[in-house]
Amino acid sequence: MSDCQKNQERLSAFLGGEITDDAEARMKEHLERCPECRKDMDDIQRIMAGAEALHKDIEKAMDTVDWEALARGITEAALARNEKASPESKAAPFWKVLFEPKWRPVFAGVLAGILLGSVTTFLLLKPGLFRPTSRPVYSASSDFIDRVELQLAKRETLDYLEKSQYLILDFVQSPPGRARLLSQDPAAQRARDMLSRKRYINQHLDKMQMAKARDICNQIELLFLELSQISDEISAEEIGKIQKFIDQKQILLKIQLIKKELESEV
């Protein structure tokens, strides 16, 4: 076994072409005694012989080749193929032309523009930044709204009637001479204010079911129309007539009744 190991080393030297005469003699001696190593050696020599035969084939084939002509032929073929390839590169596809270095700044600009536009659009459309966030929406039924409107109209009418009552009382309770003086204070003005206010509450009175209130308000309107035209030239007699009209129509009483009615409903 030890001889076989030594033979393996010699085999390695034999393959390396470094076997000495002395080593060769020892190897031969071992091979005669050891069939296993002899088989190894036979196989290796067969492989070497096969490789040598192949080498001879290659040499024979190489002998018949005109190498200079081959090199020239290859060079010409390479140049011809390159020339064929060149027109293709000249007629490069459109997208390839666009990616040439000279177009790169243009591409960069377009890209930057698209990015900037996208960011701006996003920020503008995003709620909460430049666009106020939508407030919460409260919803109520139309029935509820109608009731609220009616209540407001009644309060408004009540207030109107109360103020009208004070104004008429002032007028009625004043003696005729005093009434003249009233014409110089803001009584006429107050009456004009009340007229314009009447125009405002008319829409409520028309819409809402307040027929009685509307009647009295209309009468008061006429009265205020008269009062608003009070001037220094008006005679005491005429003032007395107006006072008599108020008394006859029981306007103050009616106002009082309507007020009570409305107060009970509000």
Partner 1 sequence: MDLMEGIKAINHDDTRALVQRVKEGDREAFMTLTRMYQKKVFVLTYSFFRNKEDALDLVQETFLRIYLKIDTFQKGRNFEGWLLQVAKNLCIDYYRKHYSRRRELVGEKPVDELDIPDRREQGAQEARDFKDILTRCVDRLAERQRTIFIMRHYNQLKNEEIAQALDISLGTVKSLHFKAIRNLRSLLRPYLGCEG
Q: Which stretch binds partner 1 (CB under 8 A): 63-71, 126-134, 188-196, 206-214?
A: 63-71
| Residue (70 or 98) nearer to partner 1, CB | 70
- Is residue 86 at the binding interface for partner 1, with CB under 8 A as the rule? no
Q: What is the dihedral of CA 252, 255, 260, 264, to 10 degrees?
A: -170
- Is residue 4 at the binding interface for partner 1, with CB under 8 A as the rule? no
**Within 13 Å and on the Cβ side, how many CA atoms surround 32?**
6
Please select the residue that binds partner 1; options are 2, 5, 17, 206, rule is CB under 8 A: 17
| Residue (65 or 91) nearer to partner 1, CB | 65
Q: How far apart are CA 114 and CA 127, in angstroms?
A: 22
| Residue (44 or 148) nearer to partner 1, CB | 44
- Is residue 79 at the binding interface for partner 1, with CB under 8 A as the rule? yes
Q: How far apart are CA 63 and CA 57, in angstroms?
A: 10
Please select the residue that binds partner 1; options are 25, 77, 152, 222, rule is CB under 8 A: 77
Please select the residue that binds partner 1; options are 1, 2, 22, 68, rule is CB under 8 A: 68
Beta carbon of residue 12, minimum distance to partner 1 (angstroms, whole number): 5
Count of beta carbons in the 10 Å neighbourhood of residue 202: 14
Q: How far apart are CA 8 and CA 165, in angstroms?
A: 140
Question: By rule CB under 8 A, what count of residues binds partner 1?
Answer: 40
Q: How far apart are CA 13 and CA 9, in angstroms?
A: 6
Beta carbon of residue 46, minimum distance to partner 1 (angstroms, whole number): 6
DSSP string, 171-197: HHHS-HHHHHHHHHTTHHHHHHHHHHH
The dihedrals phi and psi of 231, each to the nearest 5 degrees, come to -140, 175
CA distances from 131 to 36, 127, 139 (A): 95, 5, 23
Q: Print the binding letters for residues 23-62 with partner 1: x by CB under 8 A, - otherwise.
A: ----------------xx-xxx-xxx-xxxxxx-xxx-xx
DSSP string, 16-57: TT---HHHHHHHHHHHHH-HHHHHHHHHHHHHHHHHHHHHHH
Q: Print the binding letters for residues 130-169 with partner 1: x by CB under 8 A, - otherwise.
A: ----------------------------------------
- Is residue 12 at the binding interface for partner 1, with CB under 8 A as the rule? yes
Q: How far apart are CA 183 and CA 165, in angstroms?
A: 17
The site for partner 1 (CB under 8 A) is made up of 12, 15-17, 39-40, 42-44, 46-48, 50-55, 57-59, 61-65, 67-68, 70-75, 77-79, 81-82, 85
